[in-house]
Structure 1
Amino acid sequence: MTFRNDELSGIAILADDLTSAGDGAAPFRQAGHDARILLTTTAGMPGHAVGVSAVDLGSRVLDEEAAASSTWRAARLFAGSELLFKTVDSTLRGHVAAEVRAAWAGSRRRAVVIAPAFPAEGRVTVKGAQYVRGLPVHESDYARDPVHPVRCSDLTVLFPEAVLSQPDRAAELPELIANGDLIVYSAAEDGDLDRLVAAVPRLDDVLWVGSPGLAAALARRCARAAGSAASVPAPARRPLIVVGSANPATRRQLAALRARADVEGVTVSGDPASAVETLRGLTAPVLTLQTPDKRQTPQTARALARSLAAVVQALAEEHRVDALIVTGGETAATVLQILGATGIALLDEPEPGVARGTLLGQLPLPVLIKAGGFGDDAMLLRLCHLIRHPLAPGEHA
């Protein structure tokens, strides 16, 4: 990473992958802030943060020691931010405990509040334990994640020093923060997260740790008059939907999209050149590109992500596609890097956990990114319609 300047203001979001950066920053854009995602592998930091800067540290795919080190350095850099938010996956994938402790040490914040609930997607925290649609996360599909299988649902096991809090005890939060505690907050609905944020007098006393649910609650408290107007992209004539996530939710979404007569695509399982050649010959207005349905080993998954990215690069540079929808954090980061993008200028959050914007860099393509486990079976259908028939933020079809 090539960071400069150790005193930045504004709102900083430290994310462990690209989709987390997007769905952490998007609620602030919705609340009137200028916002962008920065890819640390391709871009040095500016001298001063403007609006909201969400930094993709790429730490979820690192080993624990490297992830903690990267997170500490970023937290130290952004310690002067008015609001510092560390994303964690709402299913607790990744190096959650190591990264949170590293971010706290680097941030020099008085206390930590951990609230990973994302009620809009059925992810709630009950007495310090994380659930997905009624199941403890270690008993859900995320227990079979090929890279970061979730083994523990209980945040008090991950953080034995934690003090538990919940909505009916939110009045205790100022005292717990003054004590310098690490606080795990249980929440089952968005109102619970709003009560948490409202109970904290000074947002800059806290390292905030959570998922899109907490980001949205913080954004509601920090809402402001609209930032600079962002141009709505032109309608896409030939979007490409890129699916690297093996999550069952995404695969159901892809199946619903592929059932349409105006959609054609290919599966990349080896040499990307053959996929490029096949896609060149297709005539449908919507193209899809996917990895095989079955879960892969981490090494194979990374190789497949690189193959997907090579296909996207070929099609984009030949101007055969003019917009992207990408699902899967590692896939999205790999695709954007090979396209020479330095980040994403965010436009809005059209659905919970989905970020819409324009690539910063050599190919300023419109892009929508989402995490693999988000959304109902029709989500990709809706996102495909949106990119082909763009609406301004706040408009409804």
Structure 2
Amino acid sequence: MNDPTSDKQIAILADDFTGANDAGVSLAQCGMTVDVALSANYVSTAQARIYNSDSRALTASDAAQRVTALTQKIVAHGAPQWLVKKIDSTLRGNVGAEVAAMLQVCKAPAAIIAPAFPTAGRITRNGQCFVHGQLLTDTEFASDPKTPVTSADIGTLLAAHSRAEIRYLHAADVAAALATASASATLLLVVDAQSDAELDEIVAGAESATSRPLLVGSAGLCDALARRLNPCVPRTVLAVVGSMSEIAQQQLAWAAKHPRTEQVFIDINTLFTPAAAEYRQRIVRILVSGRHCLVHTCPDTQARHQIAALCEQQGVSRSELGERICAFLGALTRDVLREAQPDALYLSGGDVAVAAAHALGAKGFSIRGRAAGCVPWGYFSGCLWQRPVMTKAGGFGDETTLLKVLHFIEEKSSD
């Protein structure tokens, strides 16, 4: 794969400023130099250069003229290895007119149009855009006060401004379709994508083509391009949630929507049996594979009402049972961290946090800031674990708190 410090030339043309920034952030996070030009004459030596036509709210003809002029300036400095037309994931603006204008200038034999942004709930199925499961034209974007969307069908928007052949494809068909493209018969390939994996497959297909196509997509496709050019080692979090509060369970459920998470349920009935050793092995495998691991002891909201029966079965008081569970989770955390190195540790529930600190041999906690509204983060002192630690009282926060913590660590620069 390419070195992030190589002289990689990427030119991206967005239709508004925030969209330009969205297009470049994943490239920057993967180690590339990225500049967003606020004027057409901006001179940059960055590996990725992003231009803003500020044309989303213009008429189609005015937008096409502005995109034509900018594209001419881009290619005048030498054709970039990758040319990208960044569009809105909900198709607002002048998608068809701007794609046609860029193709007219760059003479690419094909354009891949893939506006999907799965992590934001925007997917493409059968050539149509859906937002959180709803057809685009049935959402609020259809009545956007500034740039209303008139069709959920991507091909319809393209056909209004181009006579090129339009094909609807799956991600797996991209490479084969590009092999049939030529400068004399430009293809517009509308490609379905419902996951990041499919966006990755689209970029891989584009990279294999003899003549590089124009990429047309949202931040989702730009993220896939960044992963292809400069794959990052994914940051991971070991989250140990000992709290049985309802909000803690909601936080786990929301965090589980993250595409790179896996949950490990600790059945407290098995804590002191030989089967307990399997928890450590499973958690280590998840972390080593580059995924966040969410460890918890409460399968549902009804479990907290079964504590009395469990105490009677074990012949212990509630306090003694709680101490046993926390001691087990603390030791489990210590043993996992001896074999795996997640980028951060998240401890939910005060007793669990203290148990983990004691198991790791920590002498203190140096606070550095907040990872989310109610989640302080810092470092344990006096022990070998010297990566970020985040703690949260069980009942604090809202349903998105743990998900925000995962994003905080994913975006955190190395100290």
TM-score by length of 1: 0.53
Deviations 1:7-53 (A, max 9, x none): x981111000011101111111122210121112xx6221x642111
SS of 2:108's partner is coil
In 2, Cα distance between the equivalents of 1:130 and 1:148? 16
SS of 1:147's partner is coil
* 1:192 matched to 2:198: yes
Q: Aligned residue for 2:221?
A: 214
Q: Aligned residue for 1:149?
A: 148
Q: Aligned residue for 1:101?
A: 100
Q: Aligned residue for 1:393?
A: 413
Q: For residue 94 of structure 2, what is the amino acid of its counterpart?
A: H
Correspondent of 2:48 among 8, 30, 52: 52
CA-based RMSD of the aligned residues comes to 3.2
In 2, Cα distance between the equivalents of 1:223 and 1:84? 17
Q: Aligned residue for 2:64?
A: 68
* 1:81 matched to 2:65: no
Deviations 1:180-235 (A, max 9, x none): 31111110000011111112314862111000111011111111799xxxxxxxxx
Runs of 5+ in structure 1 lacking a partner?
Answer: 1-7, 227-349, 351-375
Higher-Rg structure is 2
Deviations 1:263-310 (A, max 9, x none): xxxxxxxxxxxxxxxxxxxxxxxxxxxxxxxxxxxxxxxxxxxxxxxx
Alignment of 1:291-310 (within 5 A): none
Q: Aligned residue for 2:157?
A: 158
Structure 1 residues 30 and 202: CA distance shift in structure 2, 3 A: farther
Deviations 1:352-388 (A, max 9, x none): xxxxxxxxxxxxxxxxxxxxxxxx9969x969x97xx
In 1, Cα distance between the equivalents of 2:45 and 2:211? 16
In 2, Cα distance between the equivalents of 1:219 and 1:140? 30
In 2, Cα distance between the equivalents of 1:118 and 1:32? 22
TM-score by length of 2: 0.51
In 2, Cα distance between the equivalents of 1:22 and 1:50? 14
In 2, Cα distance between the equivalents of 1:377 and 1:15? 33
Q: Aligned residue for 2:188?
A: 182
Shift of 1:87: 0.6
Q: For residue 205 of structure 1, what is the amino acid of its counterpart?
A: R
Question: How many residue pairs were aligned?
Answer: 233
Does the Cα contact within 8 Å between 1:31 and 1:223 map onto a contact in 2? yes
Shift of 1:173: 3.0
Deviations 1:230-256 (A, max 9, x none): xxxxxxxxxxxxxxxxxxxxxxxxxxx
In 2, Cα distance between the equivalents of 1:377 and 1:60? 34
Does the Cα contact within 8 Å between 1:116 and 1:211 map onto a contact in 2? yes
Structure 1 residues 177 and 29: CA distance shift in structure 2, 3 A: farther
Greater RCO structure (CA 8 Å; 6+ sep): 1
Q: Aligned residue for 2:123?
A: 124
In 2, Cα distance between the equivalents of 1:204 and 1:34? 25
Structure 1 residues 216 and 154: CA distance shift in structure 2, 3 A: same
Shift of 1:112: 0.7
Structure 1 residues 35 and 66: CA distance shift in structure 2, 3 A: same
In 1, Cα distance between the equivalents of 2:116 and 2:232? 27
SS of 2:111's partner is strand
Q: For residue 206 of structure 1, what is the amino acid of its counterpart?
A: P
